Structure 1
Amino acid sequence: MAIKHLEHSSLASSLEPSLLKALRHSISGCVPHWQLELTSEVYREVHLRVASAESDPEFLGATCVLLLDRFENSERGSDFEWEWDAFATRYQRADAPTRAAIMNGLDQGRKYSLVSDKVRPSIPDCTTKPVHDVVRPLLQLAKSLTEEEREWIANADYGEDVKTHLRALNELLETGDCIYPPGETWFPAEVVELVSHGDENPGFVGCTALVLINAIADNDCRANADFRWKSHRISYSSLAPSQRCAIQGGFRHLYEVIRDWNPYSDQSAPERLPTDSFLPL
């Protein structure tokens, strides 16, 4: 998110062409380890802009660059304690994508001891969209499941309890929020979750939306969304634009509001990751 903000910022080109080149390279097919390689002169200029919040229109962009450099060069620069004391209100007043980029960067930096432990963005600080704006398009996807798709979903558990699953699914989709009934962990959750595991399945998108709606409601307590992002993230990028935005938006919201949500906790990151591995806006 910070990269997208910076690519369209005059800061990148005004500092030096190599910075813009590095940012563009990083949003191509794969994302390498950060190698912005800011010279000491460019770093000083960025730092001056960060310290000139009242007069520099590129203050927020410069803050993003400084955060990226902190991850690349932990031995230099600020731990952002002073900047937090001085500019937290400015970060909070930024447009939502920029605010969330900076706040999530600070929060992640603190977890790796790159940012002062006193820097504590709130969950609203880190959240790009309010929950109702995230859930609304997911509900639209779920409720758009056709009769044929619903019947196929009801048969997904090897043809077991088809009528019970179909009735439970129809009743769920008639509710306003599509939240599974209290205490219900099987009908229709079992078939919904099975169908959401394969993009070739009829109803894949609607079932994924239902999984996300319920993961958002219970803070992904069963790691259903966690597992699906790790396993199926590439499939989501191939969806139609409106479907893709709704689905990826649901996953991004979970990342922003659940502080320990980490689909890759049991994996070692390779040197280069495909951009599909990251959570876009």
Structure 2
Amino acid sequence: MTFRDFRVPPFEVWNSPYNCAGLQPNTLCFSTKVRPSMSPFDFRTYQALTDLYRVHRFLGPDSVFPITQGNNALLEELTQFLREPSPSSGTQCSQTLRDALWMAAVSPEVHYNAFLTATSALIKNALANREYAQDLSWLWEDYSGHYRTSAPPVRAALMNGFERLRHHCLLPDDCRPSEEDLLTRDRTEAEEMLTPIARSMTPAEIECVAAADFGMDIEEHKSALFDLLNSPALAYPPNELRFPAEVIELVSHVQRHTGWLPSTAILLLDAVRTLDERSNAEFSFKRQWRGYSRLPAPARSAFHAAFRYLYEKNAFDPQFPNYHCFDRGNNVSLGWGG
């Protein structure tokens, strides 16, 4: 089966045209079964879907109108389809809309932004409806170079979308984005956003943070905090797991604690440098994601940029057993951090 023609066959493929080794089997299976979408909750796929949704918002209305070519009914359907994803359900599009999306997705020379939005919509449709996913491998083969020239948030959204398709065995293994393809920001940029917040810890906050371990070893923690804040790299001493890391972690888990904001920035600086080897960032996000989303813009952007760096480095996959409580007004996803 090939999808080289932008027209899409009237049936849909159930499961994957590729196995997890990236090989194409000789037969395809078909089903009319309705899939209970994204159950249990898959944070990484949900984040990818949310970022794909953001592509058209980033690019603006001019990236949407050329796809529908004046067809108001099609524009309404596309607008509904491009809504922010629900964590618990998928949204499918009609054959007519798929045809229009494919036409735009193979025509970067006609309207580049519409090409990017159409690609994001096709990936979104495949991820949200995985049992009926279309084969998008040839889009990767023919147009991955075009995706790499787009703005970093758009490029990362598309590349992480393709990566999730590969993860779900919906693309062959050789359709693999590079590590650089997947990053909205590199580590240095994330560090630069966190550092001013970390260095903002006041003497009064140092006193409170140093006493966070039930008042034990205050002087040792205080001295280590001063040394940390005055160091050029703002990094924990090598092989030192207690001073001041222990009190930094304790304070970062309690948002109302004095010194919480700079302590969290220090914790996230360590996490992006070590790819969260101690799972501190993942643990904190599971407990405090609502609080992070309500911070003033500079701190929210910096923290989300750090979490996003870990997510895009495949070092961040928080588990949410009560995923059913999420809705569009209760959004667990990470912002673009800008």
With structure 2 as the length reference, what TM-score do the two structures score? 0.77
Aligned counterpart, 2:308: 252
**1:213 counterpart letter in structure 2:** L
Match of 1:2 in 2: 52
Which of 23, 31, 34 matches 2:82?
23
State how far apart, in whole Å, the 1-side matches of 2:208 and 2:323 are.
37
| CA displacement 1:97-150 (0-9 Å, x = unmatched) | 100000011111111122232210111101001211111121100100111111
Q: 1:153 aligns with which of 188, 192, 209?
A: 209
Aligned-partner Cα distance in 2 for 1:80–1:23: 18
Describe the superposition over 1:56-97 as per-residue Cα deviations: whole angstroms up to 9, x where unpaired: 331111000000111233355543221111111111111101
The one-letter amino acid of 1:5's match is V
Larger of the two Rg values belongs to structure: 2
Measure how far apart 1:53 and its partner are.
Answer: 2.2
Segments of 5+ residues of structure 1 without an aligned counterpart are none
Task: Work out the CA distance in 1 between the residues paired with 2:134 and 2:258.
Answer: 52
Aligned to 1:94: 150
**Separation in 2 of the partners of 1:91 and 1:278?**
23
Look up the SS of the partner of 2:214 in the other structure. Answer: coil
The question of 1:50 aligning with 2:50 is answered no
Counterpart CA distance in 2 for 1:162 and 1:129 is 37
Kindly indicate whether residue 323 of structure 2 is the aligned counterpart of residue 269 of structure 1.
yes
| Alpha-carbon separation, structure 2, partners of 1:272 and 1:162 | 41
Q: 1:3 to 1:117 in 2, by over 3 A?
A: same
Q: For 2:268 and 2:277, locate their aligned partners in 1 and report how far apart those are by CA, in whole Å.
A: 12
C-alpha deviation, 1:238, in angstroms = 1.5
Q: Which runs of 5+ in 2 are unaligned?
A: 1-50, 69-73
The correspondence of residues 135-214 of structure 1 with structure 2, limited to 5 A, is: 135-214=191-270
1:18 partner letter? E
- Find the aligned partners of 1:60 and 1:140 in 2 and give their Cα distance: 35
User: How far off its partner does 1:17 sit?
Assistant: 1.2
- The separation in 1 between residues aligned to 2:124 and 2:138, in whole angstroms, is 17
Structure 1 partner of 2:18: none
CA contact (8 A) 1:107 1:120 kept: yes
Matched, 1:85 2:141: yes
Report deviation, 1:178.
Answer: 1.2
Q: Percent identity?
A: 31
- C-alpha change, 1:268 and 1:200, in structure 2 (3 Å) is closer
* Greater Cα offset, 132-141 or 110-119: 110-119
Aligned-pair Cα RMSD in Å: 1.9
